[in-house]
Every structure is written in structure tokens, then in C-alpha cells.
Copies of this chain bind each other. A is one copy, B any other.
């Protein structure tokens, strides 16, 4: 008889041992009942275990399971900001495929802050997530590398990577830029300005490249906002509109930027699309509201999320968790964006009115 020191006097959840003894079997058997669906087991013991679980209202401790099995069945999702309407859509896509597969979602938001980025990376590692989806334009490559180096399966969504250290799923941003620009040009605009956020965000740069394949530097000037927050967007748009030569057509690198332009336009008394044709990017929810009616390029956030989750799940299947040697090489999936024509570009008489 040992000392049996109990560190937690009053508490005491029911454990697998309780189930085992009530059912009259060993805990190994109960464990197998819990996990393996195909394990040899008589209908009788199966029934006894079921009854015991039911009666004790037993819930296996996921922490212990994870510790023992070395799989957490959790996947971390890192976004820049939850309130940016683009990300929830992507997260929904992830959730859509991750959930039926039995994974739980750990959410990490890194609001621009470098410290938070490091903290999120640390959390994901410490919690031993089975995989991570990085969907934050603001997370630097270093963070991704750390995760990879820690042996975590990661796929980067809606963001380009300088070195291909992880799977990537993106849309063809150049194509998106081209789509928008072509549409404007087809409708007779000889010039158009590209209203964008900081160009160190690769997506913005690629959209620019697409745009440039249609409008050259001369007839396609740039106007750069400090950030893609609405306030900064509005400010930048205001300065653009107040400039000497007010553009007749604008391609905004995101819907937020586009809304910023609408806001600035409104307060300056210039109207969309009468005075100025506008195309956005992302196709977030707002655009479809009649009063907004934003022509935009759909960036397929939900699909990107779903595809990313799919790749991740598959990779987890191959390389369960701790890195068993040679991983399969990084995969890269490119989805096609799609132009959604509504009123703001002025080519339909479904205008903003």
C-alpha cells in the first residue's frame, strides 16, 4: 500500500478507470472502445462499456489523450484581424472541412503587433497543434518558419511566401488585377488609378502587376494608403479625389479601400459611378447591398480556407505530428478569382442610386 497522496482533495472527475471498473473490463479495453472503431470486441463488452460511459457521464480527457497519443486534434488558425470581414469568411471555409474531420479550431489574431505574432506562434507550438493555417498578411515569414521548424504542418492561405517552406493556397492576384483593369478599359476608360494599401503586402503588389499589364505606368498611376484600415483608406481616397486631376476610374486593391473611396467621395459630393467608376477586390458581404452595389473581384476567401484545410488534413494524415523524417515537398494551389459586376463601375444601370 503506497502513500496515495492526492494533490486535489475535493475535485475528481470521472476517469477511464471508473468506466473500466464499472464495466468490469480493463482500461485498455475502454481505450480501444473509445478510439478504434474496428477493434475486435465482443458485442457484450461493447455494450457494457457503453452503459458505464452513459451512467457515469464520462468525457475522456483530451489533454491526457493528446499527451499519450502525441496528437492534439487541434489546428491553429492565425488571422490578422477577426473584424476584417475577409477573414471570417476564410475561417468559415476552414471550419467547414476541419470540423467534420474531428478537429478543434484554435484561433489566433495578431493585430499588427509583432509581440502578438510571436506569442501566437509560441502558443501553437506549446499546445502541440497538429497543424496550422496562417492566413495573415501581416505575419512575417519568420513566424511561419518557426512553426515549420517546430515540426508543425502549416499551410499558408491567401498569402505569398518568399521561400516555399510550406504549402500555399492563394488566388491568382495578377489575374484579378487584370480582370478589373480589362473591365475598365473595355468600358472606355483610358486611364485608371490603382488605390492600394502598402505594397509590401505581396497580394497588393501582384494585383498591381495585373493592373499594369493593362494600364501602363503613364495611364495607370498609383495611390497608396498608409494601411488598409477603413480610416486610412478614406483619408487616402480623400486626398486622391481632392487632387488636381480627379480620376474617372479607380481600381481599389480591396473592398475596404473601395468603401473608403465611397466614403470620401460622398463627403466631397462626387458620386459613384456617375463621376467616377469603381472596382474593388475581395467581394465581401457589403458589396451586394443595393446602396453599395460594388463591382469587385471575388477573392474566394471561403474556398481558399476550405482548400487550405483540405491540404492540411491530408498532410497530417501523412505526417501525423512529430516529424517522421522526409516530408512531402510544399504544394502550391492557385485558385482563379472572378469578376463580379455590379453597379459601381457604371457599366450597368444598376447604379448606386
Residues of chain A touching chain B, judged by Cβ–Cβ distance below 8 Å, are 8, 10-13, 59-64, 66-67, 70, 72, 74, 81-83, 85, 87-89, 91-92, 95, 99, 104-109, 116, 119, 122-123, 125-128, 150-151, 259, 262-263, 265-267, 271, 285-286, 288-293, 321-325, 352-353
Mind listing 22 A-B residue pairs with CB under 8 Å?
A8-B70, A10-B322, A11-B321, A11-B324, A12-B322, A59-B125, A59-B126, A61-B67, A64-B67, A67-B67, A82-B91, A82-B95, A85-B85, A85-B285, A105-B106, A107-B107, A259-B289, A262-B290, A263-B290, A286-B292, A290-B291, A292-B292
Q: In the complex, what residues of B have CB within 8 A of residue A88's CB? A: 82-83, 85, 87-88
Q: Is the CB of A63 within 8 A of B66?
A: yes
Q: In the complex, what residues of B have CB within 8 A of residue A8's CB? A: 70, 322
Smallest distance from the beta carbon of A323 to chain B beta carbons, Å? 7
Known contacts A262-B289, A289-B292, A290-B262: A61-B128 contact under CB 8 Å: yes
Q: Which of the listed residues A11, A82, A321 has the most CB atoms from chain B within 10 Å of its own CB? A: A82
Smallest distance from the beta carbon of A285 to chain B beta carbons, Å? 7
Q: In the complex, what residues of B have CB within 8 A of residue A286's CB? A: 285-286, 289, 292
Complex Cα spacing A108 to B103, Å: 11
Known contacts A92-B109, A262-B291: A62-B128 contact under CB 8 Å: yes
Q: In the complex, what residues of B have CB within 8 A of residue A290's CB? A: 262-263, 265-267, 291
Q: In the complex, what residues of B have CB within 8 A of residue A104's CB? A: 106, 108, 123, 127
Q: Is the CB of B128 within 8 A of A63?
A: yes
A105 contact from B83, B89, B107, B262, Cβ within 8 A: B107
Known contacts A8-B322, A289-B289, A291-B292: A63-B262 contact under CB 8 Å: no
Q: Is the CB of B59 within 8 A of A63?
A: no
Q: In the complex, what residues of B have CB within 8 A of residue A285's CB? A: 83, 85, 286
Q: Is the CB of B289 within 8 A of A323?
A: no
Q: In the complex, what residues of B have CB within 8 A of residue A151's CB? A: 13
